Chains A and B, each alone.
Chain A
Amino acid sequence: MSPLDNGGTPHVHHSAAGALDALLGRPGEEHGAFRPADLAGLDEREEFPAAACGVLDAFGLNDHYVPAAFGGELRDYTDLMQLLRTVARRDLTVAVAHGKTFLGAAPVWVAGGADQAAALGALIADGAVVSWGLTERAHGSDLLAGELSATPENGGWRLNGEKWLINNATRGGFICVLARTDPAGGPRGFSLFLVDKRGLAADAYSCPPKIPTHGIRGADISGIAFHDALIPGSALVGEVGTGIETVLKALQLTRTASTALSLGAGDTALRLGVDYARNRRLYGRTLGDLPRVRRIIGEVYAAQLLAEATGLVAARSVHALPGEMSVVSAVAKALIPDLAQNVLDRVAELLGVRSFLTQEYADGLFAKLERDHRVVAIFDGNTAVNRNALIDQFPLLAAAYRRGRCDEAGVTAATSLSVPSTEFTAGGLSLLAMRGSSLMQSLPAAVARIAEQAERGLLPRQVVVLAEEVEAAADALHTEFAELRRTPQDVPPTAFVLAERYELCFAATACLQLWLNNPQPAGDAQSPTIWRNALWLQATLRTALTRLGSPLEEAGAEAYDRLAEHAFGPAVPTLRSTLDGSTSDGFTSDASPLDGATSGSSTPDGATSDRATSSSSTSDGATSDGSIPDDSTTDDSTPDGETAGSTS
């Protein structure tokens, strides 16, 4: 756990993610185990990134997979998300390989006994790798079809059957396995077991050879087959028959955490796109000077901010609105990988031929990223499965929205980034959001507050127009929910379109509430932040509305162009990094700068400062209706977050 940066200078980091970011190094100055060219080489040879995982072990990342109640450092799921995002920015294979231990252990945090959880916590702190076995060869998402069986015997259990396509099944020492304990199956017919492979007889299990994959090629994707394997009674997690329930609850945590992979991938894609636009010269000017290219950068940046807003609110909801995570986690896991994929696709278009080169440009980082990211929308519940989880709750969501049910304190806590999260206890999780989604149901009140801010001159009028459009879309959507005809067996395809629209309305509401519940770091006249004149809010709302099918007019697209100016600074600001310093608890920049040690950055300084200067003089001050005084967006004492921005 040594928070030393590459130069060996001790730093005090407000957050674990900041410390990790400094340890792993900024682009061009990466830690020795995280050099893109080396990681690309491992990928090509399908070799496991052992050195990089070793660095994360030494950092103590494992401690953050273990809740404080069980001896670890996990107190806030947003911190876990930011840590995994920090790793994912460098390499998705490493993030997937290392982070899997959190996924494998999550069922024990949810349903395990206190002693069992504390014992697992100690093992993980010690470096144990835990995998999670749900999927079988013949059965993907359909957990209730699982055939691997556990039969009671002398106080213990005998396992028979195979789990297949399992991350870390071969290298991991432990695996949390979902097993059929009632031959008849059914929702009470399965139980979970934490299997310690070290305790098994040598012939009691076997792992198939590594399964070659399109992306994350170095990861240990294999499986495990049990042959009459005898495990002790103490391996049972929770009660017999609660396996499905526990898995569904644990997935609410892991699906939320997994979105960090997409956030990190999007961060890096955006950085590569900006670097390219800044440095590529065509027709005597840089690519970034072409209006169309700036528009693309702005659109991509806005999509990334929308994803980040959704992710941050989802992670905070684990603490603030645990009973609603069946909705929140499904929204996050369906929408965020989708947005990130869109970011990757747009950047690929921008990079042109360079997105296609596996070594020549930026060490092939982009081509690898694009391959690696595809898995995020597939594993831990694919997009269709998450949308289906939302569809199952449409009747609830419609009723709750109609009645305006809302846990206001929960919404405030989920969106106030500077307020420490309360302790999470798994007892608050529920298989259904019986009261709907408070965040979604807070939309009408949020729009009213936005209108009021505009009345007081605190916001450009266009934001109100956008917010009202979101509200109209949400109203119409919830009416359609109530009208949808379906049976348990047959979900009409249109329902999936409605689910997607729900995700977008949810994400837009998350943005509105983040705007309302956080101090607005306006920066100064020289370097305004993306908060000024609610610029990021305009751009993210516009993005959500465009995806909801609302036509985009040229005037509305200006927000993208103004947002793009911010992307060309020394670092692309994130919501988290712009709020840097607004609190002391760790909501600091997710990527602390190396105290001026910027030499050797992959970006020529000249281009950076030129762009920064021109942007501050041309953008943001003016809004199209001209009604906003320069200092209208109240500043607090927040230091300028932009210069402390992330390396991504």
Chain B
Amino acid sequence: MSSPIIEKNNQDHSPEELTGWLKERIAEHVQLPAAEIDPDVPLANYGLDSLYALTVVTEIEEHLGLTLEPTVMWDAPTLNALVEVIRAELAHAA
């Protein structure tokens, strides 16, 4: 379970901050303006292929110093669902 803490980990991640950061990341992957990503629409609808989505998880891990299941985006397929899982994990890790 020990994941090296890469970037930052000791600050509060407000839901807004997390959502904003994730939205930027995903927007970059699918090459859309961040504003076009609706947090309640499945990310697959924006062309985020499900196998590729696995690797986005590792970016989240690196950014937050968390260990997540590779399939987390399969089980939480929208931005909002994902943020919820991450916040629960962060709370758990704290």
Tell me the A residues contacting B by CB distance below 8 Å.
144, 186-188, 244-245, 389, 392-393, 395-396, 399, 403, 430-432, 434, 487-489
Closest 6 pairs (CB-CB, A-B): A187-B50, A488-B52, A187-B74, A488-B49, A431-B70, A432-B70
Evaluate contact between A186 and B59: CB separation under 8 angstroms.
no
A432 vs B49: C-alpha distance in the bound complex, in angstroms?
15
In this assembly, does B9 line the interface, its C-beta being within 8 Å of a C-beta of chain A?
no
Other-chain contact of A144, B4, B50, B57 (Cβ < 8 Å): B50
Tell me which residues from 13 to 35 in chain B have a Cβ below 8 Å from any Cβ of chain A. 29-31
- Give the chain B neighbours of A245 by CB distance below 8 A: 71, 74
Evaluate contact between A186 and B70: CB separation under 8 angstroms.
no
Size of the B side of the interface (Cβ < 8 Å), in residues, is 26
Evaluate contact between A489 and B49: CB separation under 8 angstroms.
yes
Q: A488-B47, A488-B49 are in contact. Are A395 and B59 (CB under 8 A)?
A: yes
Tell me the B residues contacting A by CB distance below 8 Å.
4, 29-31, 42, 44, 47-55, 57-59, 61-62, 67, 70-71, 74-75, 77
Q: A245-B71, A488-B52 are in contact. Are A434 and B47 (CB under 8 A)?
A: no
Q: How far is the CB of B6 from chain A (nearest CB, A)?
A: 9
Evaluate contact between B47 and A396: CB separation under 8 angstroms.
no
Other-chain contact of B31, A144, A431, A487 (Cβ < 8 Å): A487
- Give the chain B neighbours of A144 by CB distance below 8 A: 50
Considering the complex, give the chain A residue whose CB is closest to the CB of B43.
Answer: A488
How many pairs, one residue from A and one from B, have CB atoms within 8 Å of each other in the complex? Answer: 56
Supply 18 further A-B pairs (C-beta < 8 A) apart from A144-B50, A396-B58.
Answer: A186-B50, A187-B51, A392-B51, A392-B54, A392-B55, A396-B55, A399-B62, A431-B70, A431-B71, A432-B57, A487-B29, A487-B30, A487-B47, A488-B29, A488-B47, A488-B52, A489-B47, A489-B49
Majority SS at the chain B contact face:
helix
6 A-B pairs whose Cβ atoms sit less than 8 Å apart in the complex: A186-B42, A187-B74, A188-B75, A432-B55, A487-B31, A489-B49
- Give the chain A neighbours of B31 by CB distance below 8 A: 487
Q: How far is the CB of B60 from chain A (nearest CB, A)?
A: 12
- Give the chain A neighbours of B55 by CB distance below 8 A: 392-393, 395-396, 432
Evaluate contact between B77 and A186: CB separation under 8 angstroms.
yes
Evaluate contact between B29 and A434: CB separation under 8 angstroms.
no
Q: How far is the CB of B59 from chain A (nearest CB, A)?
A: 7
Most buried by A among B31, B62, B67, B71: B71
Considering the complex, give the chain A residue whose CB is closest to the CB of B49.
Answer: A488
A188 vs B72: C-alpha distance in the bound complex, in angstroms?
11
Considering the complex, give the chain B residue whose CB is closest to the CB of A434.
Answer: B58
Q: How far is the CB of B66 from chain A (nearest CB, A)?
A: 11
- Give the chain A neighbours of B48 by CB distance below 8 A: 488
Evaluate contact between B54 and A431: CB separation under 8 angstroms.
yes
Considering the complex, give the chain A residue whose CB is closest to the CB of B28.
Answer: A487
- Give the chain A neighbours of B74 by CB distance below 8 A: 186-188, 245
Q: How far is the CB of B22 from chain A (nearest CB, A)?
A: 15
Evaluate contact between A434 and B52: CB separation under 8 angstroms.
no
A430 vs B59: C-alpha distance in the bound complex, in angstroms?
17
- Give the chain B neighbours of A187 by CB distance below 8 A: 50-51, 53, 71, 74
- Give the chain A neighbours of B44 by CB distance below 8 A: 186
A395 vs B63: C-alpha distance in the bound complex, in angstroms?
14
A257 vs B67: C-alpha distance in the bound complex, in angstroms?
30
- Give the chain B neighbours of A188 by CB distance below 8 A: 74-75
Considering the complex, give the chain B residue whose CB is closest to the CB of A144.
Answer: B50
- Give the chain A neighbours of B53 by CB distance below 8 A: 187, 488
A488 vs B45: C-alpha distance in the bound complex, in angstroms?
12
Evaluate contact between A432 and B75: CB separation under 8 angstroms.
no
Other-chain contact of A434, B42, B49, B70, B75 (Cβ < 8 Å): B70
- Give the chain A neighbours of B61 by CB distance below 8 A: 434
Considering the complex, give the chain A residue whose CB is closest to the CB of B61.
Answer: A434
A434 vs B68: C-alpha distance in the bound complex, in angstroms?
10
A627 vs B58: C-alpha distance in the bound complex, in angstroms?
48
A186 vs B50: C-alpha distance in the bound complex, in angstroms?
8
A629 vs B13: C-alpha distance in the bound complex, in angstroms?
64
A244 vs B74: C-alpha distance in the bound complex, in angstroms?
11
Evaluate contact between B70 and A430: CB separation under 8 angstroms.
yes
- Give the chain A neighbours of B70 by CB distance below 8 A: 430-432, 434
Q: How far is the CB of B1 from chain A (nearest CB, A)?
A: 12
A554 vs B77: C-alpha distance in the bound complex, in angstroms?
57
- Give the chain A neighbours of B30 by CB distance below 8 A: 487-488
Considering the complex, give the chain A residue whose CB is closest to the CB of B57.
Answer: A432
A186 vs B43: C-alpha distance in the bound complex, in angstroms?
11
Considering the complex, give the chain B residue whose CB is closest to the CB of A188.
Answer: B74
Q: A487-B29, A487-B31, A488-B30 are in contact. Are A395 and B49 (CB under 8 A)?
A: no
Q: How far is the CB of B4 from chain A (nearest CB, A)?
A: 8
Q: How far is the CB of B25 from chain A (nearest CB, A)?
A: 12
Considering the complex, give the chain A residue whose CB is closest to the CB of B73.
Answer: A187
A389 vs B49: C-alpha distance in the bound complex, in angstroms?
13
- Give the chain B neighbours of A487 by CB distance below 8 A: 29-31, 47
Considering the complex, give the chain A residue whose CB is closest to the CB of B42.
Answer: A186
- Give the chain B neighbours of A244 by CB distance below 8 A: 50
- Give the chain B neighbours of A431 by CB distance below 8 A: 54, 70-71
Q: How far is the CB of B45 from chain A (nearest CB, A)?
A: 11
Q: How far is the CB of A432 from chain B (nearest CB, A)?
A: 4
Q: A432-B57, A432-B58, A434-B58 are in contact. Are A392 and B52 (CB under 8 A)?
A: yes
Evaluate contact between B47 and A395: CB separation under 8 angstroms.
no
- Give the chain B neighbours of A396 by CB distance below 8 A: 55, 58
A395 vs B54: C-alpha distance in the bound complex, in angstroms?
11
Q: How far is the CB of A329 from chain B (nearest CB, A)?
A: 15
- Give the chain A neighbours of B71 by CB distance below 8 A: 187, 245, 431
Q: How far is the CB of B79 from chain A (nearest CB, A)?
A: 15
A540 vs B74: C-alpha distance in the bound complex, in angstroms?
41
Other-chain contact of A395, B50, B51, B58 (Cβ < 8 Å): B58
Q: How far is the CB of B77 from chain A (nearest CB, A)?
A: 7
- Give the chain A neighbours of B54 by CB distance below 8 A: 392, 431-432
A399 vs B3: C-alpha distance in the bound complex, in angstroms?
13
